[in-house]
Amino acid sequence: MIIEGGIVYDPINGVLGEEMDLSIEDGRVVEKAGGSEVIDARGMLVMPGGVDAHAHIAGGKVNTGRIMRPEDGRRGTEPRTKLLRPSTGYTVPNCYAIGYRYARLGYTTAFEAATPILEARHTHEELEEIPIIDKGALTLFGNNWEVLECVRDGDLGKLAAFVAWGLLASRGYGVKVVNPGGGEAWGFGGNVKGIDDPVPSFDVTPREIIRYLMRANEALRLPHSVHLHTNNLGKPGNYETTLETLRAVEDIAASRNRQVLHVTHMQFSAYGGTGWRDFESKAPEIAGYFNRHDQFTMDMGQLIFGSATTMTADAPLEYGNARLLKAKWSNHDIELEESSGVVPIVYGRKNPINAIQWAIGLELALLTEDSWQMIMTTDHPNGGPFVNYPEVVALLMSRRKREEELATLHDLASKRTSLPSIEREMDWNEVAIVTRAGPARILGLPEKGHLGVGADGDVSIYEINPEKVDPSRDHEVVKAALARAKYTIKAGEVVVRDGEVVAVPQGSTYWVDASVPEADAARVRADLVEKFAKYYSIQMSNYMVQDAYVTRPRVVRAGVI
């Protein structure tokens, strides 16, 4: 395949709006291809395929959301065709809709943000059903009994061995930590209130859990850093916990050229105030800290007005949401591992809290000076569905659009945030970073997020000329173009043409196989035999994800130096 004359933005390779040809052969970008398929992209925007580093797209909590919300399932319905399976849902789409909708946006890769090891089989069953895109899943470790015991005993070697085993057992890609210690406390009706609050029965603190898992992550040389959902998420005044957490790990160095910690959906962790009555943004303080510490990255977790479905392994948070909103909810305790919850929500423009939350996400993205430290997400479907990414891009590129939106919101969004005073407007290069190059680098995917020789042949082409369209003024044109890719190319195959899906190949699933010393691995296995005999409701032989559940694996090798 040859893509001719597109206006290319490829930040990793320093291509910033250059008119050029691209060649793809055998699913990879090459110097020059001899194929007969030619795509005329003259006058069009060309970027690598989009990469979503944090979304909830598969697994038990997603399926629970579908069951809880039959009214949501009736939204966004599309009948089956000769090529496509039927699509349902808006905030919690079915598996087929997830693949089709990402592809229509020009996205070719998306990662499930959290799966417990015990329920990873179901996660992979759903990942297998999502067409077109490549994917992976981050494995939950922050409340696992084996982790807590290793931290209590100060046994880093054994902890690293368990993380390696857990990634193998779940066919997971990285270490996810959610409300460390709080999920275990929730099993006894409690929570942790700060990073030095003891976890019941284990005599460890969130500070120790985070530090030990980060050190184990680096000892294993995993491609992605620890992926952290902070304590006290979603509570007024929690920015202090966020900053305290970051300060507590400043001395830990990355084992490779990437961040040492990724803090996810930061919008939910950048709140000031002593309660909801004086709730305010602390995004400038968070962004200021990141501007001084380049070893950390974050994603914005942008709020989208309208219907959403919150789902997280932070069960105490969801309990609070359900009581605050008087909403239906689901709560789940996962044996020896985690807890989780699901609560539907509607974000309102005239709701002062929601209006401030909306502004906070944009503040974080625009006040963080280095675009490589901030990636664009909505924490789908917590902040809103991923299909709204074109709306978020338009807001980042246009101060005029932000002003128009602010005029429709509760006036506290202007009074208790700095958004009205922010003049910055992202350009196309920065958009390519926060939606493609940045997520790929943060995840540790060297073949994604760029169009250099050897990269995956994943390309998105949009019917908009970046040399002629002013995103600040013509923000609706930008939004419309990004919502329907002219072409989406997956591994050298056209899967979307003129905004319609025309091919449905099965993507690959990434997981990490990490090696550790056999002595440490043996100690972990001995512990697990005892735990399964005493506590688990299933046998160890029925626990691990087998190869049959991952039919197109892309295995990344890692391990202790």
Whether the pLDDT of residue 273 is over 90: the answer is yes
Q: Is the pTM of this model over 0.95?
A: yes
pLDDT for res 36: 77
Q: Read out DSSP for 143-162?
A: T-HHHHHHHHHT-HHHHHHH
pLDDT in tens, 275-289: 999 999 999 999 999
pLDDT in tens, 36-59: 799 999 999 999 999 999 999 999
pLDDT in tens, 473-514: 999 999 999 999 999 999 999 999 999 999 999 999 999 999
Over residues 133-160, the mean pLDDT reads 98
Cα–Cα distances (Å) from 395 to 385, 422, 485, in that order, read 16, 12, 19
Distance CA 446, CA 456 (A): 9
Distance CA 553, CA 479 (A): 34
Place of tokens 């296995």: 525
- The encoded tokens of residue 124 equal 């992979």
pLDDT in tens, 14-38: 999 999 999 999 999 999 877 779 9
Over residues 136-147, the mean pLDDT reads 98
pLDDT band at 549 (very low <50, low <70, confident <90, very high): very high
Distance CA 104, CA 346 (A): 25
Helix, strand, or coil (residue 168): helix
Helix, strand, or coil (residue 212): helix
- The encoded tokens of residue 395 equal 């807001």
Distance CA 472, CA 16 (A): 18
Find, among 406, 444, 356, 407, the residue nearest to 174 by Cα.
Answer: 444
Q: Read out DSSP for 404-444?
A: HHHTTS-THHHHSSSGGG------HHHHHIIIIIHHHHHHT
pLDDT for res 42: 98
pLDDT for res 380: 98
Contact indicator for 325, 290 with CB cutoff of 8 Å:
no
Q: Which of 361-370, 411-420, 489-498, 533-542 bottoms out in mean pLDDT, i.e. has the lowest?
A: 533-542
pLDDT for res 34: 76
Percent above pLDDT 90 for the chain: 97
- The encoded tokens of residue 146 equal 């084996």
Contact indicator for 4, 40 with CB cutoff of 8 Å:
yes
Find, among 102, 97, 101, the residue nearest to 129 by Cα.
Answer: 97
pLDDT band at 560 (very low <50, low <70, confident <90, very high): confident
In the chain, what are the domains?
47-501 (3.20.20.140)
Distance CA 92, CA 108 (A): 19
Whether the pLDDT of residue 561 is over 80: the answer is no
pLDDT for res 33: 76
**For the chain, what is the mean pLDDT?**
97
pLDDT for res 406: 98
pLDDT in tens, 182-219: 999 998 899 999 999 999 999 999 999 999 999 999 99
Q: Read out DSSP for 272-328?
A: ESSSSTT-EE-HHHHHHHHHH-TTEEEE-----SEEEEEEES-HHHHHHHHHHHT--
DSSP annotation of 198 reads: P
Residue 80, number of CB atoms within 10 A of its CB:
10
Cα–Cα distances (Å) from 148 to 66, 206, 259, in that order, read 32, 10, 24
Over residues 349-364, the mean pLDDT reads 98
